[in-house]
Structure 1
Amino acid sequence: MSNLAKFDTTAYRTPTSLISALTKRVASTKQFTSVMSQLRKMGLDSTTYQQFIAAGVDALPQAKNLLAGGASKVKQVASLQGQLSKASNSFASTAANDLYGAGVNAAKGLVKGLQSQQAQIDLQMSKIAASMVKSIKGHLGIHSPSRVFDREVGQMVGAGLERGIYSKVNDLADATAALVAVPTARSLTLDMSVPTARMPRQFAGLDLLGQPQSAAAGDRTYNIYEATSAEATAMAVERRERAQYA
């Protein structure tokens, strides 16, 4: 209904001309409204009715002519409008089905075309895959074994292990020194004299053979030449004592 109220007031230079034009517009709008109401009562279809309303007051002459034709003309227009609507809908449905069918057939044709070329497609894909593998191997220097992995991974792992071990050498030496005091060459002194074993003074009681002996018994001295340790010296002294009382 907005078209009925549409009116350009700026097209008039004087108030008198503007008022005159507005007065005529109001009268035309009222007459248009009355005519459209009568047409609707005679059976005017919704499609034609909406077209008249969209045109507005400018379509008043056509509306008056249709009204003058009487109810039979109005119903005939409504019938023809209905047939046109059905024909349009039928055409749209047919066109949609045709386009859908064409799309389906096109897709089927595409699938069949691809299937017929499957062997060629597989061969081409194999060539592409082989080319990719060759490119990757060339970029990474893979040549039984990979030169890149050898240079950038394997060698770096070994170098890192070596550096880690060397970084702990001082700590390992300190820990070893804390457990065992290792003598240095300057701290060693050699005694080249002949080792001598001295028997302690015997106390009053039994001597080495079980005979009574006073505590005044003198000490005995043995020269041990073959001994290389304190244990060896003690064993040599024991042999000398046994030999003394044998």
Structure 2
Amino acid sequence: MDTILLVGCGKMGGAMRAGWLEAGRRVAVVEPGPHAPAGAVGSPEALPDDLRPAAVVLAVKPQEAAAVLPAYGRFAGRAVFLSIMAGRTIAGMRALLGAEAAVVRAMPNTPAAVRQGITVACAGPGVTAAQRDLCTGLLEAIGEVAWVEDEALMDAVTAVSGSGPAYVFLLAEAMEAAGIAAGLPPELARRLARRTVAGSGALLAASAEDATELRRNVTSPGGTTAAALAVLMAEHGIPALLRRAVAEAARRSRELAG
């Protein structure tokens, strides 16, 4: 069975590792931090000399790329490098790993922790069909997978789905606070906000209708929902704020390329 080498086992790396282990894959881990899983090593120098991973998954912080990646260049030409570092470009990673490095740039999101994530991936030069299939299988262990051919789209992907769970959690947080302000007991406000967001997400996932139609289905003319949406959809409301937020996140993703 092929070995997967995971470099960095933080929250996202740990979620991916858990999905792979559930799928029966063999995983080696390099993680110098205090939360390293059993069997992990603290540096690439501690890896077995005969290790021949099929994929090296780069799950370190993008700011650490220049210091971390060159040590794994010895696997270039054999393994595919699957990076989940926000902003780091394929060309930039190949410059650190070597010209022979086959790199796939990917952006998962945190629902991967419950196998409900979505990842968008882009293959760089030299990635074979078999390596692309391997990466698809690794990413499907934590949710859905989509591929794009234009790497420039990855900054927008990062801004929408990579950062997107935080936007949803902020909505739940704000709904809870608004419920308390309206007089609800805090525990009830929290329960209503969490279950409403979670249930609405489940309905959206299960429905063939798009989000616009589902929103309309809830909105009776002249009713309470219509009154609330008149505020939320005003000129400077949620749609405008999200456009600004996504644009800013995409800008930061481009900035992280270094």
Check whether TM > 0.5: no
Greater length-normalized contact order (CA 8 Å, ≥ 6 residues apart): 2
Is the helix fraction higher in 1 or 2? 1
Higher radius of gyration, 1 or 2 = 1
Is the strand fraction higher in 1 or 2? 2
Q: TM-score, normalised by structure 1?
A: 0.20
Q: TM-score, normalised by structure 2?
A: 0.19
